[in-house]
Amino acid sequence: MTVMASLPFLFILCTTLWRGPFPIREATGQFEDIADRPASAFLVPTLSYYRPLFHLSLWSVWHSASSIDGALRAIKLFHVVPIMVLVLLFIWILRPRSALDAAVATAAVAVLVGAPAFLGNLEPPLSYTIVGMPAALIVWMLLERDYRSWHGPAIVILTLVAIGFKEQGLAIVPLVVVAWWMGAPGTGRFTAAVVTVIAIAYVAFRLAHQGGKGWPPFEQDVGFLFSGLSSTEATARFGAFPVWIYLYSAASTVANVLLSEPTDGRFRIVLAVIEGRVQPWQIVHVVSSLALTALIAWWGIGALKSRTARTWSMEARLVVAVVVVLMVSGALSFDYSRDRLGGMAIPFYALAAFFAIRQAAERLSRQSAAVAAIGAVSLLLLAGAWQCRALFTIEFTRQRTVNGQREWLTDLYRRRTDYATRPVYLHVLDSMVDQGTDPARVVHPTRYPSWMRDLLGEY
């Protein structure tokens, strides 16, 4: 039932991404780089951004494809395949065995795909974290299964893949270490040691290759309370002692996963409430996140209390996994907060949602009729709110492809003139015009009735 309920969503989302145009801004520059530079150029970090495996993967596809169209199609797979693996693997890990399990699993899938941190990672060709998310989930699955000799190498390879696509993959390292410490059956001390060494080596390597001037204190715009600061403004305001703003950005990413607010470090919904212009969808987002996080906290405390001195249950380990991955995801976003930077934590948050909602439903079934009825309606509303958010993911993704095509239609001439001295860029740009402007490639969002759009959100 859970798979059947998830497949239409998955199919629509993946076909939207598969058919949609690559954005002119993000894609052409990336493809110029991989077309123009040797593979070895991506191994040595020259900027603060370092995604060697992402670039090498694109480079391999680009240079081995028989045509640019073929390369573009293959690059789309770096998004579509991880999304399919993530959702199907998520359901497989839950293995619903009863009607209640199946119902709760559908709600958990909605949490997974309705989360802003999932939506924020659906922008081809930037598949940095969407590759890391299923990798983390596979690692978790291996950690929780009976030990096999190949688990260690598999976990190490998955960790390397996730880190190679983006530094957010480092979140897998403490996950493996704490899982081993808590007695997870699928791993051992050696694997924990190897991934720790990998993490230390990676960080040392990055610090050693900062370039002559070192990294700037702020790479991108920084959100702070109700407004945003450009990187220059942030440097002027916080550059002398940036620790507090780094902590603020890290906490913002964590809070965005747990509460859907702030977004990009800015308290947009709180501001809307203060100014009396709050929208129904903003309430849906914050309340559904707040309620689910409270439910997860209640379940998590119970799971931790029920462990004995020497044994940790799988649920207790999951509680720690959620906390650890969330904290690391936050820490790695210290420079600026964005929805997408919480991506590695979302599969674990959604797994925890499954256990929390299931436990709540089981407890309610043992209560008096009145309490059970109130609780059941509350869970119905919670599941409904997350389904709205999952639908929003589809419609927002569609609108993003429409916006992407709009940029191709309006920005082409400016790009050609601005980059007139870069022949490789122009060649890539011209090769991509058809995919960028073909009307058949975009599906316009559904024009739901206004009350429905109010509940879903702005797209």
Partner 1 sequence: MAALIGAPAIVAVLGLTAIEGYRLIQPVSPLFGDAPASLAESITRGYGVEYSYRFIRAGQNPNNVVVVDSENYTNGTSITVSPLMLAVAAHDDNTASMLLNFGARLDLPQNRFARCLAEEIGDKAMLRIIDRHGGHELTPPCPDRTAVATMPLLRWLD
Residues that bind partner 1 (CB under 8 A): 1, 4-5, 8-9, 12, 98-100, 102-104, 106-107, 109-110, 357, 361, 364-365, 372, 376-377, 379-380, 383-384, 386-387, 390-391, 394, 402, 405-406, 409-414, 417, 437-439, 442-444, 446-448
Q: Yes or no: say if 306 and 233 are a contact pair by the CB < 8 Å rule.
A: no
Tokens of 111: 């949490």
Is the CB of 290 or the CB of 443 nearer to partner 1?
Answer: 443
Alpha helices per DSSP H over 209-279:
231-238, 243-259, 268-274
Is the CB of 99 or the CB of 370 nearer to partner 1?
Answer: 99
Q: Yes or no: say if 21 and 402 are a contact pair by the CB < 8 Å rule.
A: no
Shortest spacing between CB 346 and partner 1, in angstroms: 18
Which residues, other chains included, contact 75 with Cβ-Cβ below 8 Å and sequence gap of 6+? 22, 58, 61, 62, 124, 125
Shortest spacing between CB 101 and partner 1, in angstroms: 8
Shortest spacing between CB 32 and partner 1, in angstroms: 20
Shortest spacing between CB 395 and partner 1, in angstroms: 11
Is the CB of 249 or the CB of 397 nearer to partner 1?
Answer: 397
Is the CB of 83 or the CB of 383 nearer to partner 1?
Answer: 383
Is the CB of 219 or the CB of 411 nearer to partner 1?
Answer: 411
Is the CB of 252 or the CB of 405 nearer to partner 1?
Answer: 405
Shortest spacing between CB 83 and partner 1, in angstroms: 17
Shortest spacing between CB 376 and partner 1, in angstroms: 5
266 has which bridge partners?
Answer: 225, 263
Q: Which 3 state secondary structure label does DSSP give 185? A: coil
Query: How far is the C-alpha of 76 from the C-alpha of 182, rounded, in Å?
Result: 38
Shortest spacing between CB 179 and partner 1, in angstroms: 29
Shortest spacing between CB 436 and partner 1, in angstroms: 11
Q: Yes or no: say if 154 and 105 are a contact pair by the CB < 8 Å rule.
A: no
CA nearest to 448, candidates 407, 399, 382: 399
Alpha helices per DSSP H over 115-230:
116-119, 128-143, 151-165, 172-181, 189-208
Is the CB of 9 or the CB of 349 nearer to partner 1?
Answer: 9
Is the CB of 214 or the CB of 449 nearer to partner 1?
Answer: 449
Query: How far is the C-alpha of 259 from the C-alpha of 249, rounded, in Å?
Result: 15
Dihedral of the alpha carbons of 334, 340, 346, 347, in degrees to the nearest 10:
-120
Query: How far is the C-alpha of 403 from the C-alpha of 400, rounded, in Å?
Result: 5
Shortest spacing between CB 399 and partner 1, in angstroms: 11
In this structure, what are the phi and psi dihedrals at residue 110, rounded to the nearest 5 degrees? -65, -35
Query: How far is the C-alpha of 281 from the C-alpha of 270, rounded, in Å?
Result: 13
Distances (CA, A) of 65 to 56, 60, 72, 125: 14, 8, 9, 16
Is the CB of 150 or the CB of 413 nearer to partner 1?
Answer: 413
Is the CB of 58 or the CB of 361 nearer to partner 1?
Answer: 361
Q: Which 3 state secondary structure label does DSSP give 40? A: helix
Shortest spacing between CB 71 and partner 1, in angstroms: 24
Is the CB of 69 or the CB of 438 nearer to partner 1?
Answer: 438
Distance, C-alpha 428 to centroid of its chain: 28
Query: How far is the C-alpha of 299 from the C-alpha of 320, rounded, in Å?
Result: 12
Shortest spacing between CB 103 and partner 1, in angstroms: 3
